[in-house]
C-alpha cells in the first residue's frame, strides 16, 4: 500500500503538466499510467502545435486555458530545454468565399483576446510562403502559433516533476477508486493500492471509464481519429509557417507545417470511431489529406513521406472541455473533452486545478527548494565540431553513431535509458532522442537499439518491447 496526497491518473501532457505544477508545493503526488512510458496517447500523436486560442469558442473554459497557456511557453521551454519555435501561422483564403470569412475570424480572435492577428495581402503571403496556392486572395497571420517537440515537452514536464519529488507509476492501470463518506479514499491499481486525498482524472480517452468508478456517468468519450503524414527533411516542397485552412462548418480542416526538427507534417483527418484503440492509418484517410492540403500547397510531395501515423482525440459527448468537481466525491477532479488544444493548455490547466484544490481545502505551500530547470540530453548532431570533439573525449559513447539518419549516438541513447523516468522501450528511446525517427525508420538502428536496451536493462532480448507490454520486438535467440 502506498500513501500520497494526490493521484494523477494519466501521464500525458495534461497529467504531467498538472503534476509539474503541483510539484511546486509541499504536497505528495503520484502519477499513474497504464503505458510503459509517460507521454500518453493523444499527447504523442498530434500536430505538435502550441496554439494561441484565436479560434476557440469565445467565453469557454477552453478559450481561457489556451489563451493563458500560450504566453507561458517561451519561458518554460528555456527552463526545461524543450525544442520550440514561434513560427507563426498563416491562414490563406484561397476562394472568394473564404476571403469574405476573414473579418469574422479576426473578430473571433479579438473576442478570445488574441489581439495580434493581422491581415495579409496576397503578395505578402506569397512572399512569406512561396509554395502557397498562387490563387490565394489574402489571409490572416497569427504570430504566436508555434511548433514544439511534443515528446520532449511531456518528458521535460515529467522529469522536472520527478526531480521535484513526484513519483511515476508506469505499466499501472487504475482498476477502481474507493470513496468513503463522500470523500476520496484510495485508488486501486493493477499494482499497489494507493491511499490518497485527491484524485485528478486526466485519463483522456479513458476518462469516462475512470469517472464511472466514482459513479459519474454523465458523458462518454468518443475517439476522433486524426491521421498524419510526416515528410522527409529533404522534401522538394516545404513551408516555414503553420499553414492552416479556413475552417468550414463541418471540419477544422487539414494543415501543413514544419516540425521542430525540419520535417513537414501534413494532416490530420477527423473520423469518429466506435472504439478507442484503432490507431490505423487508412488509404481513404491518407488520400483525403493529400486532396485537401493540395488546395493550400499544390506542390506538396507526398511521395517524400517517411511515416504516417494516427492519433485519437478524446472527444466528449456531449461536447466541450469540462473540469468538474462534485460535492458527493470530495477530492475528485474530473477533466474531460480535452482535444487538439490539450498540448497547449496542459501548461495552464495545472494552475487551474491547483486553484480548485485550494477551494476544496488543500493547503498548497510553495516549496522554496523547487527546481524550475531541467537539463536535456546533449544532442550530438547540433553541436559544433569542437563541441563534438569535447563530448566524445568526455564520454566515448558519443563517438558511436547508432542512428545514421538523425545522427544519434550511443551516448544519447544511454542517457535516455538512465535518466529519471528513463526509456524502457524502443519507442521510448525514439521519442527521447529521435533514434529511428528518420527516413529509414529504424531499419538501421533498430537491431542495435534492441541490443542496447537488453544490455542496459539487463533483460533477455525477447523482453524488449516496441512500446507497451505484448509488443515484443523479437522471439529470442536463434540458437
Give the catalytic positions in this structure. 51
Output the DSSP codes for 189-225: ESS--EE-SEEEE--GGGHHHHHHHTT--S-EEEEEE
Site for other proteins in 330-389 (CB under 8 A): 385, 388-389
Q: Which of residues 112-141 bind other proteins (CB under 8 A)?
A: none
Nearest approach, Cβ of residue 300 and other proteins (Å): 15
Select from 90-98, 191-199, 305-313, 362-370 the region that touches other proteins (CB under 8 A): 305-313
Q: How far is the CB of 435 from other proteins (least distance, A)?
A: 14
Instruction: Give the closest residue to 354 by CA, choosing from 10, 98, 73, 27.
Output: 27
- 443 counts as binding other proteins under rule CB under 8 A: yes
Report the residue number, 124 or 388, with the smaller CB distance to other proteins. 388
Residues 199-228 that bind other proteins (CB under 8 A): none
Least distance in Å: CB of 477 to other proteins? 5
Among 306, 347, 437, 449, binds other proteins (CB under 8 A): 306
**Is 473 one of the binding residues for other proteins (CB under 8 A)?**
yes
Nearer to other proteins, 57 or 440 (CB): 440
Write the DSSP symbol of residue 366.
Answer: B
Instruction: Select the residue interacting with other proteins from 2, 126, 273, 440 (CB under 8 A).
Output: 440
Residues 438, 408 contacting (CB under 8 angstroms): no
Q: Which stretch binds other proteins (CB under 8 A): 13-21, 142-150, 245-253, 391-399?
A: 391-399
Q: Does 279 bind other proteins (CB under 8 A)?
A: yes
Taking the complex as a whole, how short is the minimal distance between the CB of residue 473 and other proteins, in angstroms? 5
| DSSP string across 105-123 | HHHHHHHTT-TT-EEEEHH
Task: Kindly state the helix (H) or strand (E) to which residue 21 belongs, with its residue range.
Answer: helix 13-22
CA dist., res. 179 & res. 454, Å (int): 42
> Can you tell me the distance from the alpha carbon of 347 to that of 20, in angstroms, rounded to the nearest whole number?
9
Q: How many CB atoms lie within 10 A of CB 417?
A: 18
Residue 473: partners with Cβ closer than 8 Å, 6 or more residues away:
426, 446, 450, 461, 464, 465, 466
Does residue 280 belong to the site contacting other proteins (CB under 8 A)? yes
Residues ≥6 apart with Cβ < 8 Å to 390: none
Shortest Cβ 350–other proteins spacing (Å): 31
Query: Which of residues 326 and 444 has its CB atom nearest to other proteins in the complex?
Result: 444
Among 220, 378, 419, 466, binds other proteins (CB under 8 A): 466
Q: Which of 165, 95, 102 is nearest to 136 (CA)?
A: 95
State the minimum distance, in angstroms, from the CB of residue 429 to other proteins.
14
Task: Give yes or no for residue 283 binding other proteins (CB under 8 A).
Answer: yes
Take residue 27 and report the three cell numbers written for it: 504536497
How far CA 186 is from CA of 59, 174, 223, 406, in Å, comes to 36, 11, 28, 45
Nine-digit cell string for 217: 456517468
Does 396 bind other proteins (CB under 8 A)? Our answer is yes
Q: Does 190 bind other proteins (CB under 8 A)?
A: no
Site string for other proteins, 403-432 (x = CB under 8 A): -xx-x-xx---------------x------
Residue 234 interacting with other proteins (CB under 8 A): yes
Contacting other proteins (CB under 8 A), which of 2, 392, 419, 463?
392
- Contact present, 117 and 106 (Cβ < 8 Å): yes
- C-alpha cell belonging to residue 129: 510562403
* Closest CB to other proteins among residues 35, 133: 35
- How far is it, in rounded angstroms, from Cα 248 to Cα 366? 46
DSSP 8-state assignment for residue 367: P
Q: Is 459 in the site for other proteins (CB under 8 A)?
A: no
Does the protein bind other proteins through residue 248 (CB under 8 A)? no
Q: List the one residue out of 292, 238, 298 whose CA is nearest residue 263.
A: 238
Measured distance CA(454)–CA(63) in Å, rounded: 46
> Mask: binding to other proteins, 39-68, rule CB under 8 A, as x and -?
------------------------------
C-alpha 93/C-alpha 135 separation (Å) is 9
Residues in the site for other proteins, rule: CB under 8 A?
Answer: 234, 277-283, 286, 305-309, 385, 388-389, 392-393, 396-401, 404-405, 407, 409-410, 426, 439-444, 446-447, 450-451, 461, 465-479
Amino acid at each position: 500500500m502506498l500513501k500520497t496526497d494526490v493521484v494523477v491518473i494519466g501521464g500525458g501532457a495534461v497529467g504531467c503538466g498538472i503534476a509539474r505544477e503541483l510539484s511546486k508545493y509541499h504536497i505528495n503526488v503520484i502519477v499513474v499510467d497504464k503505458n510503459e512510458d509517460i507521454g500518453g496517447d493523444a499527447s504523442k500523436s498530434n500536430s505538435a502545435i502550441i496554439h494561441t486560442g484565436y479560434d476557440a469558442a469565445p467565453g469557454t473554459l477552453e478559450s481561457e486555458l489556451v489563451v493563458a497557456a500560450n504566453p507561458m511557453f517561451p519561458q518554460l521551454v528555456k527552463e526545461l530545454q524543450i525544442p520550440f519555435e514561434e513560427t507563426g501561422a498563416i491562414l490563406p483564403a484561397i476562394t472568394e468565399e473564404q476571403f469574405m470569412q476573414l473579418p469574422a475570424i479576426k473578430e473571433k480572435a479579438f473576442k478570445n483576446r488574441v489581439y495580434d492577428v493581422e491581415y495579409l495581402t496576397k503578395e505578402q503571403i506569397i512572399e512569406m510562403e512561396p509554395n502557397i496556392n498562387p490563387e490565394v486572395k489574402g489571409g490572416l497571420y497569427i504570430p504566436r502559433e508555434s511548433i514544439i517537440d511534443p515528446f520532449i515537452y511531456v518528458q521535460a514536464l515529467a522529469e522536472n516533476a520527478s526531480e521535484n519529488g513526484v513519483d511515476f507509476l508506469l505499466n499501472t492501470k487504475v482498476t477502481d477508486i474507493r470513496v468513503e463518506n463522500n470523500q476520496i479514499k484510495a485508488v486501486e491499481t493493477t499494482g499497489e493500492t494507493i491511499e490518497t486525498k485527491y484524485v485528478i482524472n486526466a485519463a483522456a480517452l479513458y476518462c469516462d471509464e475512470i469517472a464511472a468508478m466514482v459513479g459519474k456517468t454523465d458523458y462518454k468519450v468518443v475517439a476522433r481519429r486524426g491521421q498524419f503524414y510526416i515528410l522527409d527533411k529533404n522534401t522538394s516542397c516545404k513551408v516555414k509557417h503553420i499553414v492552416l485552412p479556413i475552417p468550414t462548418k463541418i471540419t477544422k480542416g487539414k494543415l501543413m507545417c514544419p516540425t521542430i526538427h525540419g520535417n513537414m507534417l501534413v494532416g490530420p483527418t477527423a473520423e469518429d470511431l466506435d472504439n478507442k484503440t484503432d490507431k490505423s492509418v487508412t488509404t481513404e484517410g491518407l488520400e483525403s489529406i493529400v486532396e485537401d492540403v493540395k488546395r493550400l500547397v499544390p506542390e506538396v510531395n507526398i511521395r517524400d513521406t517517411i511515416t504516417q501515423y494516427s492519433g485519437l482525440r478524446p472527444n466528449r459527448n456531449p461536447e466541450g472541455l469540462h473540469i468538474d468537481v462534485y460535492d458527493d466525491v470530495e477530492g475528485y477532479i474530473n477533466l474531460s473533452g480535452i482535444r487538439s488544444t490539450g498540448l497547449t493548455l496542459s501548461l495552464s490547466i495545472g494552475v487551474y486545478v491547483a486553484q480548485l484544490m485550494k477551494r476544496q481545502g488543500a493547503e498548497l505551500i510553495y516549496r522554496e527548494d523547487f527546481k524550475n530547470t531541467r537539463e536535456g540530453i546533449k544532442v550530438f548532431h547540433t553541436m559544433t565540431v569542437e563541441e563534438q570533439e569535447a563530448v566524445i573525449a568526455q564520454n566515448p559513447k558519443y563517438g558511436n553513431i547508432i542512428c545514421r539518419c538523425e545522427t544519434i549516438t550511443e551516448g544519447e541513447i544511454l542517457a535516455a535509458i538512465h535518466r529519471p523516468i528513463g526509456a524502457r522501450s524502443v519507442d521510448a528511446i525514439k521519442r527521447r532522442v529521435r533514434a529511428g525517427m528518420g527516413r529509414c525508420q529504424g531499419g538501421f538502428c533498430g537491431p542495435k537499439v534492441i541490443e542496447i536496451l537488453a544490455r542496459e536493462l539487463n533483460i533477455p532480448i525477447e523482453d524488449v518491447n516496441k512500446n507497451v507490454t505484448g509488443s515484443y520486438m523479437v522471439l529470442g535467440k536463434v540458437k
